[in-house]
């Protein structure tokens, strides 16, 4: 009778089942009968890594992925040790002869007592979320909350920002408001919205370029002050009216270095208050420009413009002769390019995006050979390029207008310069302190005076637009 050989693999001949490895039988620290720690098979990956480290002369502990800390904290680099055939016993290794037997591996280190190298490891850095939060806080640190003062009541939002941040370009101001980055009492606002005292204005980070400290010479300051004073038509303690020349911009912009607003800095008073602009004129429009000397006067004069208490009369030289010698132009105007501050205006329909109502009265003062007309305008509203757009709309564009003049087979008469023939002739406005009317007229600029003399127009002639209705 043939008997079966006994089964190998453990007591009672049972094989260990796959996937049921008993880790408790192979825990570090328990030595087998031959003195080796029961840490797994002799040919485990750990044994191979340790043997390779010993061959390279390194300490296997520095590359130990099975340590108590794992890969979460890496130990600091250690200097390489000389190659040794026998691993030196560690402090926590057994001191018996079996543990010191040549060729044997030291027992696994216990996780309860971390090594000094692991204890001295540097603290982990900030997480990715913490880094993002810190970056957001840094970007948001430039947010400002401003409170509207009593003397800033009634100011437009864009003018308010320009007054508070003189270094901020006006185009950037309009972009901030248009994109909704600026909030008034927590709500979005439009550039022409008015502010009231006590309102809270949240201003986003402006990222202003640091101004270069360019010293201004005393001679230049005196020249600027003398030039501005040479333009004064009227002046008192609260306001002054300038005769703005042709070609001088009122405010700075792209490529504009010399402008009225910058020249006014030379007239800063002992109290530190700089004269302020109240309204604007186009760069090529000459004539009356009102300047306020105090913030209170600026707010009062601005209210006079909004309430239409100010009366303005313009003179222009236009192409052709209108059939209706005295009339009214009422349209809606909108920018052709909304993002361009100096874009051409177009006649729009009611309800179109960005369209505003514009009303102008006109009257013909004189004409020359049925080719040119001297027109007097009285604008009721104050839209951008209003008179220039309205003159072109009725078929009689202003001579020298680079944006709106479009007449077929037109030739500029000899002796007339190709410059915009538009003058802010007269302005009547209540005084900001007394309320009494201030009535000032500006003379013709040199190029218009030359055309008037050539065409035989008399500048002292009665102006019929003075008695035109207001609405």
| pLDDT of 239 over the 70 cut | yes
Specify the DSSP class assigned to residue 150.
G
Q: Report in angstroms the alpha-carbon separations of 1 from 4, 60, 275, 403.
A: 10, 56, 126, 121
3-state secondary structure of 243: strand
Q: What are the phi and psi torsion angles at 252 (to 5°)?
A: -75, 160
Largest CA distance in the chain: 148
Q: State the DSSP H helix or E strand holding residue 391, giving kind and residue range, or none if neither.
A: helix 386-393
pLDDT of residue 215: 58
What percent of the chain clears pLDDT 90, i.e. is strictly above it? 36
Please tell me the predicted confidence (pLDDT) of residue 73: 42
Distance CA 256, CA 283 (A): 10
**Geometric angle at alpha carbon 411, from 406 and 415, rounded to 5°:** 125
Out of 27-31, 281-285, 329-333, least confident range: 27-31
How many angstroms separate the CA atoms of 388 and 396, rounded?
Answer: 10
Percent above pLDDT 70 for the chain: 67
pLDDT in tens, 118-172: 455 555 666 656 655 555 444 445 677 888 888 777 788 877 887 777 667 767 7
More confident site: 65 or 221: 221
Packing angle, helices 170-178 and 157-164, rounded to 10: 130
At CA 343, angle to CA 337 and CA 347, rounded to 5? Answer: 75
* Dist. CA 294–CA 272, nearest whole Å: 10
Token duo for residue 411: 């030739």
Alpha carbons 69 and 73: distance in angstroms, whole number? 6
Rg (the chain; Cα; Å): 43
Asked if residue 30 lies in contact with residue 43, where contact means CB atoms within 8 angstroms, the answer is: no
187-188 and 200-203: which strand pairing?
unpaired
Residue 111: what pLDDT?
47
Q: CA 30, CA 108: separation in Å to the nearest integer?
A: 9
What is the predicted pLDDT for the residue at 361?
95
Chain-wide mean pLDDT for the chain? Answer: 77
For the chain, give percent helix, strand, coil, nearest 5: 25, 20, 55
In this predicted structure, the answer to whether residue 64 has a pLDDT above a threshold of 60 is no
Q: At 86, is the secondary structure helix, strand, or coil? A: coil
Look at 168 and 350; give whichever has higher pLDDT.
350
Q: Per DSSP, what are the bridge partners of residue 316?
A: 375, 422
Q: Which tens digit of pLDDT belongs to each residue from 69-109?
A: 444 444 444 555 555 544 444 444 444 444 444 555 555 55
Q: Are 333 and 360 in contact (CB under 8 A)?
A: no
In this predicted structure, what is the pLDDT of residue 19?
47
Contact 423, 408 (CB under 8 A): no
**Buried b vs exposed e over 372-382: b needs ≥16 C-beta within 10 Å?**
bbbbbbbbbee
Q: Which of 323-327, 365-369, 409-413, 416-420 has the lowest mean pLDDT?
A: 409-413
Q: Are 275 and 295 spatial neighbours (Cβ–Cβ below 8 Å)?
A: no
* pLDDT tens for each residue of 296-343: 899 899 899 988 899 999 999 999 999 999 999 999 999 888 766 678
Which of 40-49, 59-68, 125-134, 190-199 is predicted most confidently?
190-199
The string of DSSP letters for 357-381 reads EEEEEEEEEEEETTTEEEEEEEESS
Number of neighbouring beta carbons within 10 Å of residue 312:
21
Active site residues: 282
């Amino acid at each position: 009778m043939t008997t079966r050989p006994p089964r190998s693999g453990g007591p009672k001949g049972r094989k260990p089942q796959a996937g049921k490895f008993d880790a408790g039988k192979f825990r570090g620290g328990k030595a087998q009968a031959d003195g080796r720690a029961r840490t797994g098979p002799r040919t485990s990956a750990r044994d191979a890594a340790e043997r390779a480290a010993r061959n390279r002369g390194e300490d296997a502990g520095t590359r130990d992925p099975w340590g108590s800390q794992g890969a979460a904290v890496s130990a600091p680099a250690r200097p390489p040790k000389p190659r040794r055939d026998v691993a030196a016993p560690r402090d926590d290794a057994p001191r018996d002869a079996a543990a010191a037997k040549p060729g044997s591996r030291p027992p696994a280190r216990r996780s309860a007592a971390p090594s000094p190298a692991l204890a001295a490891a540097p603290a982990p850095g900030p997480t990715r979320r913490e880094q993002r939060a810190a970056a957001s806080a840094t970007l948001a640190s430039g947010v400002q909350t401003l409170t509207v003062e009593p003397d800033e009541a009634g100011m437009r939002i864009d003018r308010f920002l320009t007054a508070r941040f003189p270094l901020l370009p006006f185009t950037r101001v309009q972009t901030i408001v248009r994109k909704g980055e600026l909030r008034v009492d927590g709500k979005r606002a439009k550039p022409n919205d008015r502010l009231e005292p006590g309102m809270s204005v949240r201003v986003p980070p402006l990222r202003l370029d640091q101004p270069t400290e360019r010293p201004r010479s005393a001679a230049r300051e005196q020249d600027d002050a003398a030039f501005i004073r040479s333009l004064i038509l009227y002046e008192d303690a609260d306001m002054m009216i300038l005769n703005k020349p042709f070609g001088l911009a009122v405010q700075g912009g792209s490529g504009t270095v010399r402008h009225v607003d910058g020249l006014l800095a030379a007239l800063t008073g002992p109290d530190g208050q700089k004269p302020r602009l109240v309204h604007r004129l186009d760069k090529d429009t000459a004539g009356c420009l009102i300047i306020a000397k105090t913030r209170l006067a600026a707010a009062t004069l601005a209210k006079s413009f909004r309430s239409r208490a100010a009366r303005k009369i313009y003179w222009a030289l236009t192409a052709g002769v209108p059939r209706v010698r005295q009339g009214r132009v009422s349209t809606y105007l909108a920018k052709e390019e909304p993002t361009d501050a100096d874009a051409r205006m177009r006649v729009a329909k009611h309800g179109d995006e960005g369209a505003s109502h514009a009303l102008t009265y006109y009257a013909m003062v004189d004409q020359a050979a049925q080719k040119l007309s001297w027109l007097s305008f009285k604008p009721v509203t104050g839209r951008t390029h209003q008179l220039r757009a309205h003159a072109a709309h009725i078929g009689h564009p202003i001579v020298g207008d680079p944006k709106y003049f479009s007449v077929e087979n037109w030739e500029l008469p000899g002796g007339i310069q190709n410059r915009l023939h538009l003058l802010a002739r007269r302005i009547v406005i209540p005084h900001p302190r007394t309320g009494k009317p201030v009535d000032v007229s500006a003379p013709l600029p040199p190029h218009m005076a030359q055309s008037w003399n050539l065409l035989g127009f008399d500048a002292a002639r009665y102006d019929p637009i003075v008695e035109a209705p207001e609405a």
